[in-house]
Amino acid sequence: MTGDIPQCICEHGFDGEACERCLPRFAGDQCETCEDGYIGWASSCDVVCQNGYATEPGGSECECYVDTENGHWTGASCDECLDGWGLPDCKTCKEG
């Protein structure tokens, strides 16, 4: 033996010498989703999207929630309340 160790080529979302773990910010048993608060599975799960969703499956464009169930959010990462709505959940009218 020459000591050469074959290199594994990991499937999308996996990492490690034997592809035994998910890449950073990837999640799930098969690394099939992004961690909570991130989108962009098709690329690198590096887009922060705190209170919103990807506009297409696996996409990296964040659309903020604007409804009574999830709150009324704005901002590039959907981490600010729309005018008139209050923190912490942007579900109630802002006081004052």
Name 58's Cβ contacts closer than 8 Å, sequence gap at least 6.
Answer: 40, 41, 42
Per-residue pLDDT of the chain (96 residues; tens, 9 = 90+): 456 767 789 999 999 999 999 999 999 999 999 999 999 999 999 999 999 999 999 999 999 999 999 999 999 999 999 999 999 999 999 886
Residue 42 backbone class (left: φ over 0; alpha: ψ -120 to 50; beta: rest): alpha
Tokens 């999207």 identify what position? 49
* Cα(63)–Cα(70) distance, integer angstroms: 12
> Model-level pTM?
0.82
